């Protein structure tokens, strides 16, 4: 009866304390309001220190990626020959833009607050952000070692690895964007779909009294067919709800049926059979 009592209290909006509204029926917005009211003087975190830190790092990272790109075959190209002959692009700039921009993009998705990002997306963003940062550090180390040795061309191993970076960044960026889009559309795998609570069904809300009447009707049909009243039997008879709700109904309904109508497989049916047996 505790589930029915709790539902009736939730429908009425009454909490355990007299004269106090229950915030659980309102999505617990009251807790958030109280938490915000408890710190009225809280100030937002400023972002300008991040710009001060990022400016020198961006210059160093940019020069390192452009330098390693020039040593591995990235350079000036004509992307539109015969259409725009004067257009020239230095492809070495694609490395710092792609690798470091994706690292920041993945870090933002990994550290995002709230439930709009699923666990699968957050895990993918975290691992890919860590991998992107490690690749960035490896690229900087390779450039400075080659520059210190006076090399103008990188070994073929480094050239192979650097040449794969644009494709790798494109693939991981597209995958992360797809996962974030799926989470925003509600198709992510954040968790199993919630079951309808006791007192509700897909067709619309149903009162506790109507829910019990519906369960009693299903139990009579099961008894007429000689089947026991169980959670699985009630679900097969057309009742919807979570395992806890149906289990509660299966345990309570046999006691509400008239004598002789509870099937022998249920708890009340077994009690009635034992009551009819002669004592030894």
Each residue's pLDDT tens digit, 119-146: 899 999 999 999 999 999 999 999 999 9
Please give the pLDDT value at position 202: 46
Please give the pLDDT value at position 264: 52
Please give the pLDDT value at position 262: 57
Polymer length in residues for the chain:
280
Please give the pLDDT value at position 168: 92
Confidence at 175, pLDDT banded by 50, 70, 90: very high
Between 94-110 and 119-148, two packed helices, what is the crossing angle to 10 degrees?
Answer: 150
In the chain, domain spans: 2-28, 53-184, 205-276
Average pLDDT over residues 209-227: 77
Confidence at 113, pLDDT banded by 50, 70, 90: confident
35, pLDDT greater than 90: no
Q: By the 8 A CB rule, do 132 and 125 touch?
A: no
The pTM for the full model equals: 0.50
**Portion of the chain with pLDDT greater than 70, in percent:** 67
Q: By the 8 A CB rule, do 110 and 172 touch?
A: no
Q: Which two tokens stand for residue 264?
A: 């022998």
More confident residue, 119 or 271: 119
Q: By the 8 A CB rule, do 257 and 250 touch?
A: no
Average pLDDT over residues 150-178: 92
- List, in order, residues 6 or more apart from 156 with CB less than 8 Å away: none
Average pLDDT, the chain: 73
229, pLDDT greater than 60: yes
Please give the pLDDT value at position 216: 78
Residue indicated by tokens 């309001």: 33
More confident residue, 89 or 270: 89
Please give the pLDDT value at position 55: 86
Q: How many CB atoms lie within 10 A of CB 22?
A: 16
Each residue's pLDDT tens digit, 40-99: 556 667 778 888 888 888 888 888 999 999 899 998 888 888 899 888 888 888 888 888
196, pLDDT greater than 90: no
Integer Cα distance of 230 and 250 in angstroms: 5
Q: By the 8 A CB rule, do 213 and 9 touch?
A: no
């Amino acid at each position: 009866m505790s589930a029915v009592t709790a539902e009736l209290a939730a429908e009425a909006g009454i909490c355990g304390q007299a004269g106090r509204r229950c915030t659980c029926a309102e999505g617990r917005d009251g807790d958030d309001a109280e938490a915000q009211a408890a710190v009225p003087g809280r100030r937002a975190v400023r972002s300008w220190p991040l710009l001060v830190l990022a400016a020198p790092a961006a210059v160093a990272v940019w020069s390192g990626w452009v330098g390693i790109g020039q040593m591995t075959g990235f350079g000036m190209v004509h992307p539109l020959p015969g259409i725009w002959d004067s257009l020239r692009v230095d492809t070495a700039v694609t490395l710092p833009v792609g690798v470091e921009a994706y690292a920041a993009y993945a870090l933002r998705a990994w550290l995002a607050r709230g439930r709009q990002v699923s666990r699968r997306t957050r895990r993918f963003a975290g691992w890919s952000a860590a991998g992107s940062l490690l690749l960035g550090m490896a690229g900087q180390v390779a450039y400075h070692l080659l520059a210190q040795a006076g090399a103008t061309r990188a070994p073929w191993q480094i050239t192979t690895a650097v040449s794969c970076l644009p494709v790798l960044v494109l693939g991981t960026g597209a995958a992360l964007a797809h996962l974030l889009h799926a989470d925003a559309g509600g198709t992510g795998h954040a968790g199993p779909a919630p079951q309808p609570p006791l007192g509700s069904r897909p067709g619309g809300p149903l009162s506790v009294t109507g829910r019990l009447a519906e369960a009693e009707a299903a139990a009579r049909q099961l008894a007429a067919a000689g089947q026991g009243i169980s959670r699985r039997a009630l679900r097969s008879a057309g009742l919807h709800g979570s395992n806890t709700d149906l289990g509660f109904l299966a345990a309570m309904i046999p006691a509400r049926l008239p004598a002789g109508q509870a099937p022998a497989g249920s708890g009340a049916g077994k009690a009635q059979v034992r009551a009819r047996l002669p004592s030894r």
